[in-house]
Structure 1
């Protein structure tokens, strides 16, 4: 097959783009293999789009939700239809443009046009690959920009007032490693509730490591269980398995607790240590992590319906 100078230049450009983009994507994929995917997912009832107050454990702002079934207009009602990738909250016009570019590329290839029209079917396929790669990079950059753009507002909303001496003393009143935040909760959280939170931290990590979806469904809300199942399926698709062990709660604070109808909510900041390793599913080789314990600080929200047990309702990363 003969290539024109323009086609050869285009192939070289595609090779350069893919060589730069693929290592970044692969590294991000392995880093996102842990539970929650390294993002913020779930629902916090009517407070889903409000940042929880800062605590001693997590003095920075919690990141806004990357994945949630709660819609801004109806904070307590899950979405009636699946949102899809380009309909995630915060994508807006950028998501529509990305979807439009992808659709244009597909139609262009079907009808002989597209980004590289006039260069033949092979060039059209290469053009489509380049478009998809660029779209992935643009969407990732757009999501990062959107999170940075909203971070100051969330930090302002979640800023806690300086604690009084009595409150400072309360911060060190712990129950199973937990303390109290600087603001009085609207709902009383008892020592047995803190015990449940710490137990769920370990049990959910264990169920994730075992890829036990049915157990995750018992320990979390249907929304969170659906995210876990999807993330586990993604790990399997890239032949990766994430194993977490030796989970230990080092410090925890209650950020806020409240009641909505027959549901109780409690948001807690937790700093914990764990051994986090990702293996190649085929040969068992470690592809990420090590035997050295690592520390993580996350904000977990739990929900309990009247007469029921606490369940995980959301995980948020901290800045």
Structure 2
């Protein structure tokens, strides 16, 4: 027969397990390249500035979270994380809860008796207060960023470049540079940005690269990825593919088709030209087990993203950043 002390310990253990799961559970993310909800890569001096909204994706854009470009002095780095895919404070809070859970399992620690339960509840209260402060800070910075974006003048050049109206593509967008690094990771401060014209042939190259990147990622074809993306982006793709291999899964992507797209920004920094485009595309995205070929996850059939391309003057466009759009 369970004693009152045993019942209290069981309840404390259940609370600890529930809290640990709530803190450490990883969010469900889309498996395709760039489908994790954030952004990665480099956009030169505009890496940590949101791209202009377009008719294809007028809502907020996910910030760059992983980049080899350093933020300008005094600008901060709002998008960087210590580790991709891990939420703020996850390891720290999990450690605290794990220590309490261990105490519960061995019959001691701060779960021992009524005083232990009170200590645990006090810990939960402190964690809740800290999480609330973090959320308030995040909302404050998001409002500031949103207000700055809303205060920018409307930008032209958002001509659709879907396959049926490539002839409408045209004027690029220019503006003042903000300082930063070169697109391929590292380098000194960038010169003042200059406008760039994006031609129909460029939009055709963007659409072609969209399909090549997605299908090459699904085939785990690093050779093709190295041909169409910057070394920085290839490094991120390799990291994701290694993670899939460790989990024993393969992310198969096929039937990629551009549905709608338009230009967000296009500019030049020194000898490097950039173009950021919003794209809405259809695809087949399936994750399977390597050994059994059993389907473990079906991804969405449609996606909306901002892709940034970079090229040295006279060279070919290479994918240099991916951000989720809305």
The TM-score normalised by the length of structure 2 is 0.68
Cα separation, 2, equivalents of 1:232 and 1:144: 35
Alignment of 1:38-77 (within 5 A): 38-73=37-72
Shift of 1:234: 1.9
Aligned to 1:78: none
Shift of 1:18: 5.8
Contact residue 176 and residue 198 of structure 1 kept, 8 A: no
5+ residue gaps in structure 2?
Answer: 75-79, 112-122, 175-194
Q: Is residue 309 of structure 1 aligned with residue 308 of structure 2? A: no
- Larger deviation: 195-204 or 114-123? 114-123
Aligned to 1:171: 159
Contact residue 63 and residue 151 of structure 1 kept, 8 A: no
DSSP-derived class of the 1:32 partner = coil
Aligned to 2:32: 34
Q: Is residue 263 of structure 1 aligned with residue 272 of structure 2? A: yes
Listed one character per residue, the Cα deviations across residues 116-144 of structure 1 (whole Å, up to 9, x for unaligned) are 686686878x9xxxx9xxx9xx99x9699
Aligned to 1:202: 211
Cα separation, 1, equivalents of 2:153 and 2:280: 19
The TM-score normalised by the length of structure 1 is 0.70
Among 116, 128, 138, the alignment partner of 1:146 is 138
Count of paired positions: 277
- Over 3 Å counting, the alpha-carbon distance change for 1:273 and 1:117 in structure 2 is closer
Alignment of 1:1-319 (within 5 A): 4-17=6-19, 25=26, 28-29=27-28, 31-36=29-34, 37-73=36-72, 84-85=82-83, 114-115=99-100, 146=138, 149-150=141-142, 153-154=145-146, 156-157=148-149, 161=154, 171=159, 178=166, 180=169, 184-185=173-174, 186-289=195-298, 294-319=301-326
Q: Which has the higher helix share?
A: 1
DSSP-derived class of the 2:64 partner = coil
- Over 3 Å counting, the alpha-carbon distance change for 1:286 and 1:210 in structure 2 is same
- Over 3 Å counting, the alpha-carbon distance change for 1:315 and 1:295 in structure 2 is same
Shift of 1:200: 0.5
Shift of 1:215: 2.4
- Larger deviation: 231-240 or 44-53? 231-240
- Over 3 Å counting, the alpha-carbon distance change for 1:148 and 1:210 in structure 2 is farther
- Over 3 Å counting, the alpha-carbon distance change for 1:150 and 1:183 in structure 2 is farther
DSSP-derived class of the 1:35 partner = coil
